[in-house]
Amino acid sequence: MYQSATGGNLATSEQTVDNKAMLGVLGFFVGAALSLGIGLFWTVGAIGLWTNSIGLLGSLRLEGIWRTLYFAYPFVVLACLVIGTVLFVAKRHLEAAAIAILPVLGVPLFYFALVLLR
């Protein structure tokens, strides 16, 4: 593990930077930001579906489980961020980062399932 030097002295065990925790914190915030960023595009698509506007989602004619899965995205993001925050407070930083990034990984999986299985 890397150690930081403070005041020209090699860090003692009390001053050592925990790189795994810092990586977890960064991953959690990046995952949360990406999930919420995708939420902006989700909102545009949801408005298009509700108003029956012509667009890619309108041309897909989402029905049944596919429409339900599409509208479940904000709830999935909220659940992942709540679970990630609980893990973050419990000092499980890497697990919090993994949970926070799950909605971002689920979007391409949903798209490929929509294209290939429908």
- Cα 12 from Cα 6, distance rounded (Å): 9
CA–CA separation, 33 and 21 (whole Å): 18
- Residue 39 included in any domain: yes
- pLDDT over 90 percentage in the chain: 47
Query: Which pLDDT band, with edges at 50, 70 and 90, does 19 fall under?
Result: confident
Domain with 79, as residue range(s), is 18-117
- Residue at 85 is within a domain: yes
pLDDT at position 49: 85
**Residue 35 domain flag:** yes
Banded model confidence at residue 69, pLDDT cuts 50, 70, 90 = very high
Which pLDDT score is estimated for 8?
A: 59
On whether the CB atoms of residues 11 and 3 are closer than 8 A, the answer is yes
Q: How many domains does the chain have?
A: 1
Q: What is the pTM for the complete model shown?
A: 0.77
